[in-house]
Structure 1
Amino acid sequence: MSTETDPPLLELLARQAGVLSRSQALRHLSARMVERRLGSRRWQHAHRGVYVAHTGPIDREARRWIAVLSTGDGTLLGGLSALETIGFRGFITDRIDVLVRAEKTPSGPPPGVVVHRTGILPASDIHLMGRPPGTMPARSLVDAAQWAISDQRAWAIIAAGFQQRLVYADDVRTVLARMPRAKRRALISEAVTWSSGGVHSAAEADFLRLCRRAGLPEPLLQHARRDAHGRRNYLDAYFEECRLHVEIDGGHHMDVEHWWADMRRQNDLWISGDRVLRFPAWAIRHRPAEITAQLRAALRPIPFLNTSPPLPVAKGPRSKNKG
């Protein structure tokens, strides 16, 4: 906790998670006073020309401020780092992404900070009320997808933005329209179209295409239902008339905890009378004929089976043998 008592300085430190640049410090203190605080270890050096006004651990919020203040005026949080400040969940990384205008070339950013340069940064893409200042949600989502390590992760990021209701499709399309050279532009555009319609992954989109090409009924996607314990679950794809649930297994199903959670949910479905088919995401794209054949078999009407026990055969009275 900061030991400062000057109200304007305290306000600045409260707003910036205890972090300030040298130029900000000199607006409130003399150079000697700054050096005295550093020398007595009341403050600590965070990076060149950036200080933390306490001696405790540096948390994630403070690291974001250090990233922005250490890379010069006009620097913005971008991508996943900007989305995290507005509550985006599920894609937390140790790295911090910042965005600067193309004419700037920051030197020596702090460890774990990745600097991206752009020639397209209109005022409508800047969220000045952010802490720290960053890009608006739609721009942040597009940049996060551009900077993702894979196409699959890029699609998942776009889908999560819609699933968590942080963006509108028109806003994302507007951002994409003024970025003709954006990396993965076609994939992002497709992901926006599908995600705004309820598709939450590239694998789900592939599955829906497969159903349409094969002339199969179109399933409900992310269908909400409650399990035997009253918990709300979302089914990847559900053919309601046939009570057939399709689970699409991605990479996370290799994790033991996720695997057991999926098996437990599948057991609940079977107990209640539904049937479940499971397909790996790669097979939907690379083994479509096999997937289609199993779907056709599962969607075929099931003949009525009379499982009641047979009626007893009536027997007449036994005749007495008089012989």
Structure 2
Amino acid sequence: MDMEAIAALAAQQGDVLHRRQLRSLGADRWRVRNQVTAGRWSTRGRHTVATTNGAIGALGERWTAVFECGAGAAIDGVTALVHAGLTGFDAGRRPTVSLPGHYHRPEVPQVDIRGIASRRAGELLEGLPRVRPDVALIRAAEWAASDRQAALLLVMTAQQRLVRVEELPALVAEMKPHWRRAFIATVVGDVARGVQALGELDFARLCERYRIPPPSLQVVRELPGGRAVRDAHWDNGLGVEIDGVQHHLGLGPVDDALRQNALLIGGDSTLRLPVLGLRLHEAELMAQVREAYWLFERRATRAG
């Protein structure tokens, strides 16, 4: 039994090995049993053995999930995104594993097994069997518990530069998600377009739908520090800024704060409408716009 080779391989796989790997290194089932009985190793399922008797980390849990799910299994969805570096999203403790339809889907405790029709060419990466981030992102959005969670995943992954956002619309069109296809395509388009995520004409149509008088679009305001362009503006002083994804990146929030503060000091007021907010809570946000419009209209009338 080559203990040095076993230790080296276990270190690469989060302290776990498949029984098949152990056999290739001279550790048959009897030697494995002796190590487990002595308390040096522990079993983690039918196929997985840990070279420790204590807890294993996230990497070991992912390898265990793949080993226990069998041939064709790969880490996918949110777990693949977290493995690729996604931060700030609570992925939970259950690794997500995908299996193509022609493979048997076993019952594995504490593993979220998802069936897929087939693997895309080149979707698997070397090392831990896992799906590349862009494909994993589309599947994660499809498998999300809600539209809100799907949108959050799409935006966070784009913000953290884990995928090439300009390539996502074509990928969605090719993959054709079964669930929330239109919603994913819309949000991906918003993310990819960034600044013009929701066109001003789209907002004008929303105003018409919610019985709000039409605003002036792309209005230039002169400020002490230069000019500011507002996406929509009414003569009563109310304005609207439609925030695409780029407003939450880098120095975007600082620039927005400077511009909005200058407008406020100059006597204007601006409502900020995140594009994703309009996708998820259109009725509530447009109701606020309508309420604000009539509030400002009453003030303007009294002042006149």
Residue 139 of structure 1 corresponds to which residue in structure 2? Answer: 135
Of residues 86, 89, 92, the one that matches 1:91 is: 89
User: Per-residue displacement from partner, 1:108-147 (whole Å, max 9, x unpaired)?
Assistant: 21x3211111113123211224xx2211111010010011
Question: Structure 1: how far apart are the matches of 2:45 and 2:297?
Answer: 62
1:187 aligns with 2:183: yes
Aligned length, in residue pairs: 263
| 1:1-323 to 2 correspondences below 5 Å | 6-28=3-25, 29-92=27-90, 93-109=92-108, 111-129=109-127, 132-198=128-194, 209-210=202-203, 213-214=206-207, 215-216=214-215, 217=217, 218=231, 219=241, 221=243, 223=247, 234=253, 240=259, 243=262, 277=271, 284-286=282-284, 288-294=286-292
Whole-Å Cα distance in 1 between the matches of residues 88 and 199 of structure 2? 22
Query: Does the 8 Å CA contact 2:99/2:113 hold for their aligned counterparts?
Result: yes
CA contact 1:176–1:182 (8 Å) conserved in 2: no
Give the helix-richer structure, 1 or 2.
Answer: 2
How far has the Cα of 1:8 moved from its partner? Answer: 2.4
One-letter amino acid matched to 2:17 = L
The structure-2 alpha-carbon separation of the partners of 1:117 and 1:289, relative to structure 1 and needing over 3 Å to count, comes to: closer
Q: Give the deviation of 1:107 after TM superposition.
A: 1.7
1:195 Cα deviation from its structure 2 partner = 1.2
Change in Cα spacing, 1:283 to 1:146, as seen in structure 2 (3 Å) is closer
Other-structure match for 1:320: none
- Cα contact 2:74–2:97 (8 A) shared by 1: yes
Change (3 A) 1:18 1:289: closer
Q: Residues 44 and 52 of structure 1 are in contact (CA less than 8 Å); yes or no, is this contact kept in structure 2? A: yes
Deviation at 1:73, TM superposition (A): 2.3
User: How far apart are the structure 2 equivalents of 1:155 and 1:286?
Assistant: 18
Q: Per-residue deviation at 1:105?
A: 2.0
Largest Rg, 1 or 2: 1
| Counterpart position of 2:237 | none
- Superposed CA RMSD in Å reads 3.9
Q: TM-score, normalised by structure 2?
A: 0.72
CA distance in 2, matches of 1:299, 1:8: 77
CA 1:238–1:87: 2 relative to 1, 3 Å:
same
CA distance in 2, matches of 1:290, 1:122: 44
1:62 CA drift (Å):
1.4
CA contact (8 A) 1:220 1:239 kept: no
The one-letter amino acid paired with 1:39 is T
Q: Which amino acid aligns with 1:66?
A: T
Structure 1 residue 37, shift from structure 2 partner: 0.6
Determine if contact 1:223/1:235 at 8 Å carries over to the other structure: no
For 1:69-106, what per-residue CA distance to the aligned partner results, in whole angstroms no more than 9, with x for missing partners?
A: 11112211000000001111222222211011111123
Q: Secondary structure at the match of 1:48?
A: coil
Deviation at 1:212, TM superposition (A): 6.3
TM-score for the superposition, normalised by structure 1: 0.68
State the identity %.
26
Q: How many angstroms apart in 1 are the aligned matches of 2:142 and 2:114?
A: 11
2:253 partner SS:
strand
Does the aligned pair in 1 maintain the 2:166–2:192 contact within 8 Å? no
Separation (CA, whole Å) in 2 of partners of 1:225 and 1:167: 15
Q: 1:139 to 1:240 in 2, by over 3 A?
A: same
In the alignment, the residues of structure 2 paired with residue 121 and residue 179 of structure 1 have an alpha-carbon distance, to the nearest angstrom, of 11
Tell me, which stretches of 5 or more residues in structure 1 are unaligned? 227-231, 246-269, 303-323
Give the distance between the partners of 2:122 and 2:170, measured in 1 at CA: 11
Mark the runs of 5 or more structure 2 residues left unpaired by the alignment.
208-213, 218-230, 232-240
